[in-house]
Chains A and B, each alone.
Chain A
Amino acid sequence: MAVVEVKHLVKEFPGGVRAVDGIDLATEEGEYLVLLGPSGCGKTTLLRTIAGLEQPTAGDVLIDGTIVTGLPPRARQIAMVFQSYALYPHKSVYANIVFPLRAVKMERTERDRKAKWAAELLGIEHLMQRKPRQLSGGERQRVALARALVRQPKVFLLDEPLSNLDAKLRASARDELKRFQEEIGTTTVYVTHDQVEAMGLGDRIVVLQAGRVRQIGPPVEVYDDPADTFVATFIGSPPMNLVPRDGVLVGFRPEHLLPAPVVSGSAVPVPLAVDRVEYLSGDRHVYGTARGIGEATRVVARLPATVDAPVTVGEEQDFAVARSRLRFFSAGSGERTGEVAL
């Protein structure tokens, strides 16, 4: 259990590309920290720098208070799970798991004991003699985790380990992963571009874009209180609606845009010219153009199954948003601003 810290980290690649552009970050002990962002935002580079697979151009990496910036990966007491799992194809599952233990010259009985312990924890003890090519995607992931676990590292680093699994498997794998980490309690840094994964797994989420941190916070905070338009539109599916109004962007989430009769309390009316309705897993997604709250803008409303107020395509209907749910952003910088009277 340890704290991973990154101080003023910069990673510049030849050609002037700054993959990591001045990042300060600190995990809490035992937390599951998710690095979230689109392709090219620097999240994988950041992870690899923490691992020691890349050397930073400037700044430091600290693990448990010790500066590890100059140390090779194996001296940092970390374990890493790659997107491809990187299982040694010519070695059996058992040999894969004990490989890191042999590297530190642990003696045989001790190695066997730890390998068994790790395998049992992940439910793969029956696969020990198989080769990676004989395993399914989910099984391979567990072997990779066992290999990471067996060294009892201070930090787990995971690079999009779920992206190679098919969609159905992903949800259950996500659940297993979270329970696994809670049981082990090791600080984990996890990279993904999938915001659903991030929201489901993270104790805190670090939203990254173009090498910079946009916001750090627990899922609820990142969702409800986005720091700028990037976070607001990256998180949440469908993304937050943004309506321009006098140099300000008025934001509200689709699930808060509801037919007027349903919205209680102080609300802002949003007349909506409905042009399309989608039925998705019990929810209704209503697409239309909102007027009256700002410039005419295409928005989405998400009506849960519990709301069965009728919605007609082609008509203008009265929708509304509770005032407390409105978020305001500067149209120029995209940053969050204070409330604006409407």
Chain B
Amino acid sequence: MRTRLADRDGALAWIFLMPSVLYILLLVALPFVLAIGFALSDVTAGDPSFDWVGLRNFERIFEDPVFWQSLGNTFIFTSISMVLIVVLGKVLANILVADFRGKWIVRFFVLLPWTTPVALSSIAWLWMLDSIFSPIDWVFRQVGLLGGVGAAIKPDTNMYWLGEPGLAMGSVIAVHVWRLTPLAAVIMVAGLVSIPRDLEEAARVDGAGYWRRMFEVTIPLVLPVAAVAALFGAIFTFTDMAVVDVLTNGGPNNATQVLTSWAFFRGIDGGDVGQGAAIALFLFPLLLAAAIAILRAVKRMEV
């Protein structure tokens, strides 16, 4: 029997990989290069002719204070979200691995934030955080935190979750965390499950109580997976546009503007494709650096 193509490992490897590689090259790499091109051009919606302008777009966005505010916001949102997502995700993961009655229902409820299309869940939150009708405000009013003179937080009837700059930022972060914690939890369950049972039992016999076991045995061993969960959390927060767009549209006064929404605003709403591309271009190297750092750290944490 001659060696058929189906046996030739080298050839097979290429054949198997080619379609994906081609697809990615054509629909990701090429557009990426094109986007860089846009960033260096003066293309606008009104004037689609392509003229090189060098770094002028970049100069312009650097001069724009909103750009810096967006950059800062992106960092703040992402880092705070990442921390919360990992910590809460770990707690949730512990709950998910435990065995108890009604486990399936709890899992189902816990998955809802992640599996719902982001646009829809954001809209649901839009009402929850509404300036007049927010149910949260209603509860606060009932328990005396809001409304009237003796209220604990303030005498107004509403918190203006999306209207006050600080609260708006908090709301955006909260929605991100709410949406992504289930994903982080699911990822970390993988890590928890892969810890050999022996280790936990040895720690029990060695005399370690619950907290010592948690901090000295479980958490160090789960750290690589937690890092992956953090990475996914960062990716989904960093590249998100929907939550900000739906909840605050970048407001109030750009308090919640992030790079993605600002790029969309400038590039599409504003029609300045060159600027939009320049702004968006900042996203990639930052995310890349973060990803490489995290993946390197994971590799070093291998035991």
A interface, CB within 8 angstroms of B: 51-53, 72-74, 78-80, 82-84, 86, 88-90, 99-100, 102-104, 131, 133, 147, 151
Contacts and interface: CB of A to CB of B under 8 A. Distances in A.
Interface stretch (B144-152, B205-213, B254-262): B205-213
Nearest to A99: B206
Contact of A99 (B196, B198, B208, B221): B208
Interface residues of B, number: 18
A133 B302 CA distance: 11
Contact of A79 (B198, B205, B217, B220): B205
Given A84-B198, A131-B303, A90 B220 contact: yes
Given A86-B196, A103-B206, 16 more contacts: A73-B201, A73-B207, A74-B204, A74-B209, A79-B205, A80-B205, A86-B198, A86-B199, A88-B203, A99-B216, A100-B206, A100-B207, A103-B209, A104-B207, A133-B303, A151-B206
A73 B204 contact: yes
Contacts of B207: 73-74, 100, 103-104, 151
15 contacts: A74-B206, A74-B208, A79-B205, A80-B201, A82-B201, A86-B198, A86-B199, A88-B216, A89-B221, A89-B303, A99-B208, A100-B206, A100-B207, A131-B303, A147-B206
Contacts, number: 62
Interface string B235-263: 00000000000000000000000000000
Interface string B192-203: 000010110111
A73 to B, nearest CB: 5
Among B202, B203, B204, B208, chain A packs the most CB atoms within 10 A around the CB of: B202
Contacts of A51: 205
Dominant SS among interface residues on chain B = helix
A103 B212 CA distance: 8
B303 A90 contact: yes
A292 to B, nearest CB: 54
A100 B212 CA distance: 11
Nearest to B204: A73
Nearest to A53: B201
Among A51, A53, A104, A147, chain B packs the most CB atoms within 10 A around the CB of: A53
B126 to A, nearest CB: 45
A100 B201 CA distance: 13
A73 B303 contact: no
Nearest to B223: A90
